[in-house]
Structure 1
Amino acid sequence: MTPSPESTGRYGSALEEIPGEARPLLAQALDILAMDKKDGERLVRLLCEQGLPLKFFPEEPGKGGGAVTLGDSAVEDGRVKLNPESVGLYPGQTLGATVMILAHELRHLEQLVTNTLMLEQQGKIVPPVEAVLYTYMIEADAQATATEISFLLMKQGKPEAWEYITKEESNYKDMADGYKNATVREPGAEESGYARKMAFNKWFTTDWSLGYASDNIDYRPSDNIHREMLKGGARIENMEQGDFAQLGKYLANADPQKYAEQVTVPAKDLRRVEQAEKDFTRLTQDVESGQLHDRSLKVEKDAYGREIAPAAPVRPSTAEAAKPVVSEPAETPDAGPRKPQPLSSRFNRPSGI
């Protein structure tokens, strides 16, 4: 399937920052994605309506995936207003990978414009570990959506994305298997949402997704943004089941506590989680004491425009690129080494969510 000049022109604003030799593949991927009338067509239309460009990140050998890049965020009436700037991908990926990645990232764009990408968009500030769980949920939703699109395209004779995610070495194979097995077990699983939920569930049992438990602690809006939100009427509260159900009808009966029990915080990252919890405790104490003010914390951003915590100290004497120094918690004969913890063990409530 070669994209016509009309299709390349139709995506002109989205492709104008892509090198000319790569535009045909991107246009072809968008054409294929739009063949899925359940979700893909809507997501491609959203990209065009938002007027966002597709961009390539600097090439890194073996690096795949993508991201919705963000500009400076603002706070209005206690809610975070996110400013999407582009949808970024890494160059050199196959057609199947490109279709799947676009489906995943455009689902994130849809979450953003519907104010479900982060709870702060709704004027809601939750404890750090609950924010991490919500990040797991939006990632699982995006990949479950991409999995379903890939499956439905395969049934229409466009198997590229499905073949990509079902390879033995694919990080997404478990989710693809979960989806396909559901369609075998239950007639109508695609229409009912059962197959998508089975794919969604698999996100929480894959080893490679463990990094979300700690990394996304650092991607939360900064302390200063939370304080600005509170001044504008935002609220501090715990998550509710409805926070997940808003992502889709297939999650209407999702049990957040069950999912939290499957998320493990690696032992080496517990300190970061604990520091985030201390900062959150300080924030709630300041609210209760009426001392809500801007602490002028320095805010830095990563390559995708997401706010991150200040960088850790680095070793100055290495010839290779400097690496953060990870302060490991002290181990004593009495306490022993720290062990991984399920995220649910850190919920500060008597009976979970």
Structure 2
Amino acid sequence: MQTKKIPLDITKATTSRLAEVDFDNLVFGKYYTDHMMVCDYENGKWNTPKIMPYGPLSVEPSCKAFHYGQAIFEGMKAFKDENGKVWLFRPEENFNRANISCKRMAMPEFPKEYFFEALETLLKLDEAWIKAGDGNSLYIRPFVIATENGVSASPSSAYKFMIICCPAKAYYSSPVKVTIAQKYSRSADGGVGYAKAAGNYGASFYPTNLAKEKGYQQVIWTDASTHQYLEEAGTMNVFFRINNTLITAPTSDRILDGITRKSLIKLAQDQGLQVEIRRITVSELVDAAKNGSLKEMFGAGTAATIAPIEGFEYNGDYYELPEVKDAYSQYLKKSLQDIQYNRAEDKFGWRYEIQLDK
């Protein structure tokens, strides 16, 4: 993938905070790298992207992002292999999805050459924050917020596109217990469920808190109309293994087109596993749990890669999944991460190397 080189406005940090970070005991999202990217949209166009020291923003209380929720984000990771090379995983998919989200939220789309030039420059400057080793990565958060001042209910005329980064380890350290939604919904037909709109996630926190009070870490979301069809798990896509068939819901305007999701589907199909992309009902899942054909459930997303589910609750009954020796979740996670960390052949062309200046 080739993009046109563009000039950037770069201000380097005078000192690094890298020594302050305990990489053996990382808390996800607590520490951020020395630099960030900021690009402003004003007068109908995007200005020159700026790379600057990471720090607070100054915005007015009337900033429209606060009042009307015009905000979207992406989640990406950079990986370092044992030879010190740095890799992204399918970054063009993230870029395209960011612009899909922007369009749905009436926000201006971002130029491709700006995105890749700024991202690569940022990663080169903060390359020391990317640690090699299994499970280590640099989490990358591109996002856009509306910055026009005013409380009129209309799209903003000004925006900030930003990229910040934080070092990361495994997101979930052990399998999780979930409850199936019967009242609350993550998204609805005609809504913004397929976009990575910030409000999608804010709206999920309350029902997730209710689930945690009952002893469950996450919610399996169901369709808003009937609550009979299984759709997503927490902030991730979700897979079910019934006997030896891997099942996941089709994407729609309610379900995010997850990059990890589509990668796992491709890997499974390439290895000859039976995959079905179809709607699956709660009753089918419960029946499978009762008759022993439900072998696995797992969430799939950028932060966690794969999060195994050890059991689920529905209608007051808890169904614990069996331990399986030939877990698809572990096999697929290893296959995916071997590509991400440059330990295996990348037959699909998913890896994207950051050309370090060394």
- TM-score if structure 2 supplies the norm length? 0.25
Higher strand share: 2
Higher RCO (CA-CA < 8 Å; seq separation 6+)? 2
- TM-score if structure 1 supplies the norm length? 0.25
